[in-house]
């Protein structure tokens, strides 16, 4: 069967339809919809039997997921000319030098944020953000001359570039100004100092190079360049730059959302694009996975208190001993990891099965069957999810003991000790379910130690002379006021999926243009999600269409860009330039899209 055809496998045989443009099945989804009501009634076996010939087609049609759109390029002459000219500019040495300098300058500002920081004005560590503001004003003068700028809660940045057509919904481009702190003890492990912003001829180094200063700089440089060339939007562009994303966005994004809702109202933005997913090679095919959902987040503090005393007369268990046992109990009882049908991770695997050129046959068949068979769903867990630590973390609720504190002197029994457990909650669960399981995990152990237990304000094991007075007590509480349930899912099919199709087409056009190629399926766009959260967790009221995606190239770099949240953070220049190209294509395409 040639590449200019696609097939539908039915109990009575095979029917072949030929495309008009030489593309494979996904490019003619409209023609195929005529047959969808018949396909839906066919048994799954008919799709599996000839999977070697038709799997990229039949699985997509059978499941209703992973349909593809064509690459989306600007069409009207003004936009097409601006986009083409910008594309040529990106390839010049002069623009590359400019882009490097803009990012290096931002990296050199150590805009670190920490957990539990008080509001701006109450902690001098916020003041580095003032340096970020001064730098942006100097580095991007046309933006600061043309856009309106509102500073929200001192350091949140809200830029607005009013479009010429007020009937078009505005959209938001988001990023964050802050970075995770650099542990002073690790500085000697960095190839280049963390705030040096060194460019070594290939990579740009420093804390924030990838998370998220490349994204912020790419947005600003794109708009500054378009302004310099006289381009102006029909659709209003809004920029929101939080300042404590790495600490949950409690002071930044939360305040920005309130300001936006007061000005614009609820559900009035066409879409939001923030940091997030990228593209990589999976099973011989390049997949882009914009984040369309987000796990919940919940930090639990486990406090243990006991009488204390002199260490020369120790009890069987010190407070730290109790805490160590509790931590061990948690780690012995991880949350179950089970793929859920209809979840984003499941839909991503359906895309892998539809288009992955080298996906193993057994896994492919299990994924196909998992759309209706629980046994097959568990087989996918066995073959793919559980062996992959990253995907297991994506699918399940995670628990990580990240902070521990206790004791002040070697010969004094500690009166108190605590640990903090970070949870990323799977999209089928909730804070309520997660906290209930935390309590259940340690209740029996607390009984065995004769310790009372209070969990989130409720006595689980009530204090008594038998339990609390002589031994001590355990308390579970919310560690930081930033807990959040899993996010609503962005529509990716059916009614309301136009923004998803717009982003998919823009992604394909960017990928093609950066490589000088043509075609519609050089990159397959699939629903995706990351293991963590972004500032968008505060923006749910603004739109149903939230995309955590800034076109990061991870083809050779794994799932997480080099050094993010650890030593030696860096970004290759070519990857950074492609992010700029992505925002250029997105901004210009948004003027023409029906959203």
Task: Cite the active site residues.
Answer: 178, 245
Cβ–Cβ under 8 Å, residues 533 and 294: yes
Closest by Cα among 204, 208, 142 to 175? 208
Q: List the beta strands (DSSP E) in 392-457.
A: 398-406, 412-413, 416-425, 452-455
Q: Is 565 annotated as a binding residue?
A: yes
Give the chain's length.
595
Question: How many whole angstroms from its chain centre is CA 86?
Answer: 28
451: which 2 tokens?
Answer: 């310790």
Contacts of 21 (CB under 8 A, 6+ apart): 27
Q: Is 188 annotated as a binding residue?
A: no
Say how far apart CA 339 and CA 364 lie, in whole Å: 15
- Which residue in the block uniquely carries the two structure tokens 């803009």? 102
Measured CA angle at 387 (ends 557, 559), to 5 deg: 20
Say how far apart CA 226 and CA 466 lie, in whole Å: 73
Closest by Cα among 51, 16, 10, 9 to 369? 51
Say how far apart CA 589 and CA 595 lie, in whole Å: 11
Torsion of CA 47, 50, 54, 58, to 10 degrees: 0
Q: Is 274 annotated as a binding residue?
A: yes
Furthest CA-CA distance within the chain: 87
Task: Please list the alpha-helical segments (H only) found in 229-298.
Answer: 253-264
Cβ–Cβ under 8 Å, residues 373 and 367: no
Q: List the beta strands (DSSP E) in 11-152.
A: 13-18, 148-152
Say how far apart CA 535 and CA 523 lie, in whole Å: 27
Contacts of 30 (CB under 8 A, 6+ apart): none
Say how far apart CA 66 and CA 398 lie, in whole Å: 27
- Which residue in the block uniquely carries the two structure tokens 């000088």? 516
Specify burial of residue 308 (Cβ count, 10 A radius: 0-12, 13-18, 19+).
Answer: middle
Q: Is 176 annotated as a binding residue?
A: yes
- Which residue in the block uniquely carries the two structure tokens 């100004």? 177
Per DSSP, the residues of 12-47 read TEEEEEE-SSS--GGGGHHHHGGGHHHHTTS-THHH
Question: How many whole angstroms from its chain centre is CA 412?
Answer: 45
145: which 2 tokens?
Answer: 């001359």
Say how far apart CA 559 and CA 394 lie, in whole Å: 12
- Distances in Å between the Cα of 487 and the Cα atoms of 506, 540, 541 are 24, 8, 11
The CB density around residue 463, as the number of other CB atoms within 10 Å, is 14
Q: Is 133 annotated as a binding residue?
A: no
The SS3 assignment for 264 reads: helix
Say how far apart CA 177 and CA 251 lie, in whole Å: 13
Q: Which positions make up the binding site?
A: 176, 211, 246, 274, 565
Residue ranges for the known binding site for Zn(2+) are 176, 211, 246, 274, 565
């Amino acid at each position: 069967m040639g590449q200019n055809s696609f097939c539908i496998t039915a109990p009575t045989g095979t029917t072949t339809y030929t495309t008009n443009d030489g593309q494979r099945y996904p490019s003619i989804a409209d023609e195929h919809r005529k047959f969808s009501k018949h396909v839906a009634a066919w048994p799954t076996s008919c799709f599996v039997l000839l999977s070697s010939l038709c799997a990229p087609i039949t699985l997509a049609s059978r499941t209703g997921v992973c349909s593809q759109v064509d690459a989306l390029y600007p069409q009207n002459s003004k936009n097409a000319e601006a986009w083409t000219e910008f594309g040529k500019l990106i390839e010049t040495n002069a623009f590359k030098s400019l882009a490097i300098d803009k990012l290096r300058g931002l990296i050199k500002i150590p805009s670190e944020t920490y957990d539990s920081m008080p509001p701006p004005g109450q902690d001098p560590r916020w003041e580095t953000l003032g340096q970020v503001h001064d730098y942006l004003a100097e580095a991007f003068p046309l933006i600061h001359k043309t856009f309106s700028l509102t500073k929200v809660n001192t350091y949140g940045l809200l830029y607005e570039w009013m479009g010429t057509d007020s009937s078009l919904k505005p959209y938001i481009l988001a990023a964050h100004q802050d970075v995770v702190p650099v542990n002073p003890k690790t500085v000697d492990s960095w190839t280049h100092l963390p705030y040096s912003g060194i460019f070594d001829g290939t990579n740009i180094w420093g804390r924030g190079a990838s998370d998220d200063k490349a994204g912020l700089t790419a947005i600003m440089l794109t708009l500054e360049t378009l302004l310099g060339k006289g381009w102006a939007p029909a659709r209003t562009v809004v920029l929101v730059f939080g300042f404590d994303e790495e600490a949950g966005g409690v002071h930044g994004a939360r305040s920005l959302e309130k300001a936006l809702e007061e000005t614009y109202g609820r559900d009035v933005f066409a879409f939001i694009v923030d940091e997030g997913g990228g593209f990589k090679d999976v099973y011989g095919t390049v997949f882009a996975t914009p984040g369309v959902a987000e796990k919940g987040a919940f930090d639990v503090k486990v406090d243990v208190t006991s009488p204390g005393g002199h260490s020369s007369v120790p009890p069987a268990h010190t407070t730290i001993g109790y805490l160590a046992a509790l931590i061990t109990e948690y780690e012995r009882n991880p949350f179950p990891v089970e793929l859920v049908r209809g979840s984003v991770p499941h839909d991503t695997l359906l895309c892998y099965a539809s288009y992955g050129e080298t996906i193993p046959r057994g896994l492919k068949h299990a994924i196909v069957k998992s759309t209706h068979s629980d046994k097959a769903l568990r087989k996918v867990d066995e073959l793919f999810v559980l062996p992959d630590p990253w995907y297991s973390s994506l699918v399940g609720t995670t628990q990580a003991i990240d902070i521990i504190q206790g004791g002040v002197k070697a010969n004094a029994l500690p009166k108190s000790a605590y640990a903090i457990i970070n949870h990323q909650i799977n999209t089928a669960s909730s804070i309520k379910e997660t906290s209930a399981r935390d309590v259940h995990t340690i209740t029996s152990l607390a009984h065995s130690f004769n310790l009372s237990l209070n969990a989130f304000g409720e006595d689980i094991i009530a204090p008594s002379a038998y339990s609390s007075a002589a031994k001590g007590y355990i308390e579970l509480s919310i560690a930081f006021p930033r807990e959040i349930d899993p996010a609503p899912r962005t529509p990716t099919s059916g009614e309301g999926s136009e923004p998803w199709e717009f982003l998919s087409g823009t992604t394909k056009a960017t990928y093609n243009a950066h490589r000088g190629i043509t075609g519609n399926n050089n990159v397959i766009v699939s629903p995706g999600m990351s293991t963590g959260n972004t500032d968008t967790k505060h923006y749910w009221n603004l739109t149903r269409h939230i995309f955590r995606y800034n076109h990061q190239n991870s083809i050779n770099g794994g799932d997480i860009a080099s050094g993010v949240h650890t030593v030696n953070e860096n970004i290759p220049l070519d990857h950074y330039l492609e992010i700029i190209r992505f925002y250029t294509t997105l901004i210009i395409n948004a003027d023409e899209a029906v959203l």
